[in-house]
Structure 1
Amino acid sequence: MADNDVSQLSASQQQALEQFTAVTAQETKDAIPLLRRSQWNVELAIAKLFDGEAADPVVEAAERAAAPAAARPQIPPPSPLPTPGPSLGAGSRNRVTISPAPRIVPQPTAVSRRPSLLISLLLFPFSLVWRLSNSFASLFYTLFPFLARFRTATSPPSRTQTTRRSQNPRDTAARFIRLFEEEYGTDTGLEFFEGGYAQALDLAKNELRFLLVVLQSDEHDDTASFNRETLINPEVVEFIKTQNIILWAGSVQDSEAYQVSAGLGCTKFPFAALISRAPSSTSNSQGMSVVSRIVGPTPPQTLVLKLTTAITTHSEALERIRATRAVHEAGRAILEQQNSAYELSLARDREITRARREAAERRAREEEFARAKAEEKVLLAKNRIAWRQWRATTIPKEEPVGKDTARVSIRLRNGKRVTRRFNGGASMEEVYAFVECLEYLDESATDEETPERPGGYAHEYGFKLVSPMPRQVYELRSEKDGSERTVKDCLWPTASLVVEVDDGEDNEEGEDN
């Protein structure tokens, strides 16, 4: 029991033990010796458990040399699953008689071409003799019908019997099922496969099921009795449903069923063949084999007994294949889940990276926009100051008292009031410029250098000159025709104005007007 102690195993051996027990549901005391004999290879141990374990003299000698005989527990190899059925001798004989099941795909029939007139004239005597012979043979078998029984009972079907029009496999199967139901009723309980033989064979291979192929000849005397007494017998129908057998049937009058009968070696009717995955069919690329043949009229009890014997013999091989396939499917499912989780994690990481990149780009754009706005604001303020300095140099001196002068009193934004005389012919823009550049008038008189007008800058006045009582706004241009308004038109001979700042105009620091 010390050899089976889990605590004495290494980390890798304990991991292999967990994987093996999770897949096979074996106990630890039985799993450790099998894994030790498999060199702790999980896949090899699973294969030995399901397929049986062959004796290895080299491994046994190494184990005997490594430990004394008294300390080695005698652990028998895993025995195959018990299955009810015939004895081992009968199963061995059945395994010997299996043969590969051919995968037959119906070939399209060749289109006959009409021979030329010369060849028809040359072959006319032979054709006439052939027709007369066939007519005589048909008349002979009509007069003596018991002779036709010996001819069809022991000879395989011939091409002359396939007189039905060739159709695709699905239509051929539908026609056989329709004729069968018309003859024996629709409540027989049989569920024929509605497709071709190759499709039924592929379905049995993929789903690891048994395929029962039934071939019949409409000209055979035992066909009707076999169908009525055996095939639609409730015991046979219930057995086919219970065992989940795929049932495919056809008449050798059809091209596909004729080719299947030739491939399966059918020599007598009615004929039935049970096809399944068999481990000894190594020469068959499809892996399908005929595990049982039932030839000639057969009672229902005998048919069920033969099918039961074949199914019992080969069910163990199918169970091993199903177990191996389940292990592979479980591994594939785990791998797909891991890949899905990995792809989901990658997608989540990509989404986070994309969001971070977009946020960084958005912040960079906002910072760039704010920087551009700040630079634009600074440049605008600089140009506005430069324009005011330049415009202050262009404002003429105050007009003396005269008949064409207007005396204007202006209350500035800071509450101070200034009075100035303007020429009546001057435009209202001169008054606006005086108010805008009031703080730079004294500087312009003392500056030695004349400021230059900033290029590319269009100045806009951020205030209005308004007469308070009655309220009247004096615009630079007339609203009617858009012409410039003069001082004489608006402010002559005297006027009292108030400076009103437009909404949104920022008050500049250091401004005293």
Structure 2
Amino acid sequence: MDSLSETQQHAVSTLQAISNCDTEAAIALLESSNWDVQAAASLIFDAAPTAGPSISPRSPSPRRRIENLEIDDSHQGALRDNRRARDSNRARRVSLTSSAPLFRADLHPHVQSYGIARYLPTCPNSLVSILAFPLHLLSSIFRFIFGVLRIPIPQIRFSGLNFYRPLPSGPSDPRSVSDRWVRALEDETGAVCYSRAGTQIVGASSATDAGPSSLTARAGAGVNGEPFEEGMKRLPDFTLASYEDVLRICQRDTKIACVILVSDEHDDVAEFKRSTLTNPAFVQLLHDNEIIVWGGDVREKDAWSAAQKLQATTYPFVAFLALQPRRGSRAPSTSSSPPTLTVLSRHQGRSVPATAPTSAETLSNHLSSQLLPRVTPFLERLRNAARERERDRTLREEQDRAFQDTARRDRERIEAKIAQSERENLEAARRVEDARQTEQRQEQERLESERLAVIRMEWRRWARKSLVTPEAAKGTPGAIRIAVRLPDGDGRTIRQFAPSDSLTGLYAYVDSQLIPSHFPASADPSAPPLGTPIDEESLVRQSIGATEWWGFRLFLAYPRKELAWKSHTRLVDIAELKGGAQIVVERGGSHSSSRATSPNGGEDDDYDTESD
């Protein structure tokens, strides 16, 4: 040891603290791995066990990146001297030539004794393994000889030719490993985690969710925050995640992290679990200050990596980490110098007596009087700044939403106005078109009506000349005297009709009386207009009714009865006209009564009887 440099001595001490191996064996392993502590530990922990799952050889890979954490260990000087003294007294010396194994046989199941048996291959069980067995044996002998002579050799293994692959021992993801370790801790201490009903921590950047322990409740344990029974021991709420996830959670939530590392190869670990981790005051202090607690056994890969990064040399080991301003920075909260995750303090070694570095009293006093007063104000400023940024972000989002809503409403209002204007324009165009069509139709109807009126007048004048027979002379046997009252107050007329006159002649006579006076009878045409009926049969064949053709209707004055037009009907054949009659003429479609009301309230037909 005296011939080794300080760095090499530190590497030997670290490997001894992890594996509890002999000094010379540690030196031999470190020399064969070029003084790489992690590679030397991998030779131990990654070796295939004699009775258990075999581990496939790993291909050479670059050294694992160690995260650089600033370490605030100003209070650890005295602890370092005590640690080195204890490690020196507890080291066990075992000769390389001795048949006894260099490591204890009760190590973790994945750790195999370091000796001749380590280099012997597993029992072959296939044809390829049988053929490769001599190569395995020869390689193992050479490796053992080179190891004794301290000659470094490359990591060449033939285990890849072995087709035997036993079942794995269990899940190896960080969450499962943490859960398994917490369960074992509960079984060993008889305690339960402070709260097992908490929701898993969401937002870790890894694929594995992080969260507090959610183990099955034991009899008497509080669940969902209910008080524990008196005398029930408690454990801190361990976060079930990887070490890297815990660091990310610590940075994201601006909280203090407590990292607990143990190794069952150390005699102080059992007492530390029983006294410190179950101390009510210490557990309550961690819970009240929302400190993120994470732990593990260094025999597991994740815990071993954390021990390397935190520079743990003996166990149990407790470290507190939190965000702190960079050294030499006057404005840690600015974007140019963000805070960095810093190791605030490290505690390692015995947990008894009360003044021991990892006792519950020491850790509680350190938290209450030193760490929390020093760290909490800065973390609170970070939280306030984060809350302020969150408020600003929320305010900006609300403003953006309000702006977008306003823009959307304005856009909808403009679109509605445009649509309304288009509808109004279409409606106005439709109204103009309807008015134009209506006017055009009315004009056509007016022209057609005028044309028909001209034709009708021509026919009426022709009918007055051709269809109206001369009046029968007085005293003609069977003559019928008919008094006709014209509409619109045009007076009345009396005429003698011969017995041979037809109802058509009566209608033609009445129609001739309605011809305006500026059409003299002497100018009547001798031929009907083109397309008009010239006889009764033609009149019957018209598509319109008689009332529409004649333009008026005839009614008997008393009793009031319509004298409808019929073809080929003589006046003498109408019983109501025998002996004479009074007829009232009404324009076509008029339903007004021809009777007039006398001033005395009685009815008067305004006609004189023949006796008059």
Normalising by structure 2, we get a TM-score of 0.43
Secondary structure of 1:93's partner?
coil
Letter in 1 for 2:415: R
Change (3 A) 1:132 1:467: farther
In the alignment, the residues of structure 1 paired with residue 543 and residue 569 of structure 2 have an alpha-carbon distance, to the nearest angstrom, of: 13
Does 2:133 match 1:121? yes
Displacement of 1:381: 0.6
Letter in 1 for 2:185: F
Letter in 2 for 1:321: L
In the alignment, the residues of structure 2 paired with residue 491 and residue 497 of structure 1 have an alpha-carbon distance, to the nearest angstrom, of: 22
**How big is each residue's C-alpha offset from its partner over 1:463-508, in whole Å with a ceiling of 9 and x where there is no partner?**
x999999899x9xxxxxxxxxxx9859999999997449xxxxxxx
State the partner residue of 1:451: none
Does 2:467 match 1:400? yes
Change (3 A) 1:253 1:357: same
- 1:190 pairs, out of 228, 236, 243, with 236
Does the Cα contact within 8 Å between 2:73 and 2:344 map onto a contact in 1?
no
Does 2:349 match 1:296? yes
Change (3 A) 1:172 1:296: same
Does 2:268 match 1:225? no
Does the Cα contact within 8 Å between 1:424 and 1:487 map onto a contact in 2?
no
Letter in 2 for 1:425: S
Instruction: Report which of the two has the higher share of helix.
Output: 1
What pairs up with 1:286-325 in 2 under 5 angstroms? 287-297=340-350, 298-308=358-368, 309-325=370-386
Identity of aligned residues (%): 22
Letter in 1 for 2:191: G
Does the Cα contact within 8 Å between 1:275 and 1:291 map onto a contact in 2?
yes
Displacement of 1:384: 1.3
- 1:242 pairs, out of 288, 313, 324, with 288
Does the Cα contact within 8 Å between 2:191 and 2:235 map onto a contact in 1?
no
Does 2:433 match 1:372? yes
State the partner residue of 1:101: none
Does 2:153 match 1:172? no
Displacement of 1:344: 3.7
What pairs up with 1:198-277 in 2 under 5 angstroms? 198-277=244-323
Displacement of 1:436: 7.8
Change (3 A) 1:373 1:189: farther
Secondary structure of 1:276's partner?
strand
Q: Which has the higher contact order (CA 8 A, sep 6+)?
A: 1
Does the Cα contact within 8 Å between 1:409 and 1:497 map onto a contact in 2?
no
Change (3 A) 1:392 1:202: same
Secondary structure of 1:125's partner?
helix
Change (3 A) 1:352 1:116: same
Does the Cα contact within 8 Å between 2:326 and 2:337 map onto a contact in 1?
no
Change (3 A) 1:405 1:229: same
- Give ranges in structure 2 of 5+ residues lacking alignment: 1-71, 78-125, 146-167, 193-220, 222-233, 330-335, 351-357, 469-499, 516-532, 575-582, 591-612
In the alignment, the residues of structure 2 paired with residue 491 and residue 239 of structure 1 have an alpha-carbon distance, to the nearest angstrom, of: 132
Displacement of 1:94: 6.0
Change (3 A) 1:224 1:350: same
In the alignment, the residues of structure 2 paired with residue 405 and residue 432 of structure 1 have an alpha-carbon distance, to the nearest angstrom, of: 16
**How big is each residue's C-alpha offset from its partner over 1:8-51, in whole Å with a ceiling of 9 and x where there is no partner?**
xxxxxxxxxxxxxxxxxxxxxxxxxxxxxxxxxxxxxxxxxxxx
Displacement of 1:374: 1.6
Does 2:359 match 1:354? no
Does the Cα contact within 8 Å between 2:191 and 2:278 map onto a contact in 1?
no
In the alignment, the residues of structure 2 paired with residue 191 and residue 389 of structure 1 have an alpha-carbon distance, to the nearest angstrom, of: 108
Does the Cα contact within 8 Å between 1:425 and 1:488 map onto a contact in 2?
no
Secondary structure of 2:267's partner?
coil
In the alignment, the residues of structure 2 paired with residue 280 and residue 169 of structure 1 have an alpha-carbon distance, to the nearest angstrom, of: 30
Displacement of 1:268: 1.9
**How big is each residue's C-alpha offset from its partner over 1:166-190, in whole Å with a ceiling of 9 and x where there is no partner?**
4333333332333333332325152
In the alignment, the residues of structure 1 paired with residue 316 and residue 265 of structure 2 have an alpha-carbon distance, to the nearest angstrom, of: 11
Does the Cα contact within 8 Å between 2:320 and 2:344 map onto a contact in 1?
yes
Change (3 A) 1:417 1:307: farther
Aligned residues: 325
RMSD across aligned C-alpha pairs, in angstroms?
5.1
Displacement of 1:246: 0.8
In the alignment, the residues of structure 2 paired with residue 271 and residue 437 of structure 1 have an alpha-carbon distance, to the nearest angstrom, of: 127
In the alignment, the residues of structure 2 paired with residue 437 and residue 296 of structure 1 have an alpha-carbon distance, to the nearest angstrom, of: 133
Normalising by structure 1, we get a TM-score of 0.50
Displacement of 1:115: 11
Which 10-residue stretch deviates more, 255-264 or 491-500?
491-500
> Who wins on radius of gyration, i.e. which is larger?
2
Displacement of 1:328: 3.4
